Structure 1
Amino acid sequence: MTRDGPDNPARPLAGTDLCALADLADPGSKGFRFRQERLMFAGFVVRVGDEVRGYVDSCPHAGWPLAAWDDRYLTREGDLILCGGHAALFRPLDGVCVAGPCADQRLSPWPVAVIDGRVVTT
């Protein structure tokens, strides 16, 4: 069972260490799963240059996970986030859908920051 809102007890607490910034290619992405009993939280981060953004791993159109393969959230060019289910495209720095059935909707943000070279939840 997945419930991706802020009241999901499986959602990691602020300050949770996710990975080293150096572990994210530029551009690059990485997915994360957290479980507490039967609940799960799924999120991912994307890096573009010095900018890192986090999003809940859920298509706003269909509710399914975006990546068809582990950590493969970006297009081949690395310039957009791709929904593997129906090819919707999202801008990586604001999560706005620019093509596909959810045009003008956006991905749900998952607050993250880079602190001392580490990507952490905020």
Structure 2
Amino acid sequence: MSAITLCRLNDITDGGALGLPEHQQLHPGGLVAVRQGEQVRVYINRCPHFSVPLDYRPQEFCTYRGKILMCAHHSAMFRFEDGHCIDGPCKGARLEPVPVRWVEDRLVLDLEPQQ
């Protein structure tokens, strides 16, 4: 199984979000990584409400109190730690997580082998 590097921990502001548009093989909108301290979660950049991207400008995301990612289109609010929508038009829905792991200071995504 091969892996690709998504980013390094210091590429993501603590309490912020980083767009990863170069990984569009998973979704046309790319991915978004959110960080709280040493914890980083990666989600597909797609709001469950109308399947629109979360960013308000390409790769620019709204975060709130370093714990919430907000959809720029309909103000749905998602917790960093689990992608659960706690407020907005899709309350109760979740962002689609992308499983990642750390290799030293690099956040990597394992790719499925081609068949």
TM-score when scaled to structure 1?
0.78
Cα RMSD (Å) of the superposition? 2.0
From the superposition, tell whether residues 58 and 31 of structure 1 become closer, same or farther in structure 2 (CA, over 3 Å). Answer: same
User: Counterpart in 2 of 1:22?
Assistant: 10
2:39 is matched with which residue: 43, 51, 59? Answer: 51
Q: Deviations over 1:97-117 (max 9, x none)?
A: 000010010000111222200
Q: Deviations over 1:39-85 (max 9, x none)?
A: 83611111111111010111101101001024333424322000000
User: Counterpart in 1 of 2:19?
Assistant: 31
Q: Which runs of 5+ in 1 are unaligned?
A: 1-12
1:115 is matched with which residue: 100, 103, 106? Answer: 103
Measured after TM superposition, the shift of residue 28 of structure 1 is 1.9
User: Counterpart in 2 of 1:66?
Assistant: 54
CA separation in 1, counterparts of 2:108 and 2:86?
28
CA contact (8 A) 1:19 1:118 kept: yes
**Alignment length, in residue pairs?**
108
2:89 is matched with which residue: 97, 101, 111? Answer: 101
Measured after TM superposition, the shift of residue 120 of structure 1 is 1.1
From the superposition, tell whether residues 88 and 14 of structure 1 become closer, same or farther in structure 2 (CA, over 3 Å). Answer: farther
User: Counterpart in 1 of 2:113?
Assistant: none
CA separation in 1, counterparts of 2:10 and 2:64?
20
CA contact (8 A) 2:13 2:35 kept: yes
- % identical equivalent positions: 36
TM-score when scaled to structure 2?
0.82
Q: Which runs of 5+ in 2 are unaligned?
A: 111-115
Runs of 4+ in 1 over 3 A off after TM superposition: none
